[in-house]
Amino acid sequence: MTHSPVRFGVLGTGRITRRIIADLQSTPGATVSAIASRSEERARWHADSHGIPVGVEGYRALLSRDDVDAVYIALPPSMHHEWTLAACESGKHVLCEKPVALSADQVREMIAAVNRAGVRFLDATAWLHHERTDQFRQWLTTVGPAEESVEAAAKKDDLFGDDEDDAAAIPFRLGPLRHLSASVSFPNPFLDGDHRLHADLGGGALLDLGWYSAGLARFASGRLPDEVFAHAVMRGEIIARVSATMVYADELTATLSCGFDTSTRKWFEIAGQDASIVCDDFTRPWADKPARSWVHEASGEVHSFVPPSEVGVGDVKAGVSANEPSSGRCQQERVMIGTLVDWIRRGSDCGEEKPWEAFHRQALDTQIMLDALQASIDRGAPVRLNFSTD
């Protein structure tokens, strides 16, 4: 069956917009039909620069267009809630930049609006869609009781195993999770005027980079902690760096770090009783290295993994960036966009299956954790979470 492309309109013309526009234009089944700015001149300039047919003055004017099926919201976080609700009222599907909003209450309202309107919503947390992340999900099936996780570990490792070897299996078990660590940072990253330097626009390291650190903890544990304790280093009105600890009901613990004043880090460790997963570039693979990861067993044995599409990334030919489609490596943003396009095309054909709900839950729980971390910073004390989260 042949489908017409999903036509995206872009709300906003900031720095990140340029990269995602290229990904939208390069994803099968998607196209960009219009871009909007508060200024007609700026909208037209960006439209001409990126090969977009129409530049529109005003976000609401874009939402009223018949040649737009979905919107990519690339506005500051303080505007995500307002324009997601407006998009829903106009019957448009939504790809929304991270962090999704300024509070968990706003995220709940956004999800409720999406459900009422019958449109699809996905937050632009691209690492969740990488081929390697599917491998992490598979490995996390080995965290249960010994008899269950041994059975899980005996299953064929479909992503990284040798296709010719039907006996290929996950060669380790994590065992019960004991500790999670995630650190995401980069130094002095922004130009004057960037929204991440303004607290009222949703700026600061907690919302911008804590979204990744807290999101990793939610991804690995599948749940919320019981208690968080966070400390922040301020630079004027914004949070420049955060360090935090978390405690879960079953003695699982976590440490999180994020900052705008620390060398580039994007790593995690998921430590189980019997083995731990280590990744040094989980938010986005290094441009000149494959999307690698390691598993360290308690015995001292170490397993190194690289997805099939990433083999030879360090040896790409001169003049071809490892992040270009011609390199053959997994393009996580394009997989993410393709996921949303698939949901839109399937419509009500999904039946009882609603694959977007798991991503909505991940986004909401991540925001709940960020709210709790902010409350702990404000109080200077540990904060217990309220589990009435629906």
Residue 194's pLDDT is what? 84
* Residues 241, 233 contacting (CB under 8 angstroms): yes
DSSP reduced 3-state for 293 = strand
Cα gap 344→342, rounded to integer Å = 5
Q: What pLDDT score does 168 carry?
A: 53
The pTM for the full model equals 0.92
β-partners of residue 96 are 73, 123
User: What 3-state class would DSSP assign to 81?
Assistant: helix
pLDDT tens-digit readout, 87-107: 999 999 999 999 999 999 999
- For residue 101, list its beta bridge partners: none
pLDDT at 217: 98
The count of other CB atoms within 10 Å of the CB of residue 200 is 11
pLDDT digits (tens, 9 = 90+) for 170-189: 899 999 999 999 999 998 76
When mean pLDDT is compared across 96-105, 108-117, 156-165, the lowest value belongs to 156-165
Residues 270-290: pLDDT tens digits? Answer: 999 999 999 999 999 999 899
The answer to whether 291 and 305 are in contact (CB under 8 A) is no
Band (pLDDT 50/70/90 cuts) for residue 139 is: very high
The pLDDT mean for the chain works out to 90
Of the candidates 196, 145, 194, the residue with the CA atom closest to the CA atom of residue 174: 145
Tell whether the model's pLDDT for residue 167 goes beyond 60: no
Phi, psi angle pair for 229, to nearest 5°: -140, 120
Q: Could you tell me the end-to-end alpha-carbon distance of the chain, in angstroms, rounded to an integer?
A: 38
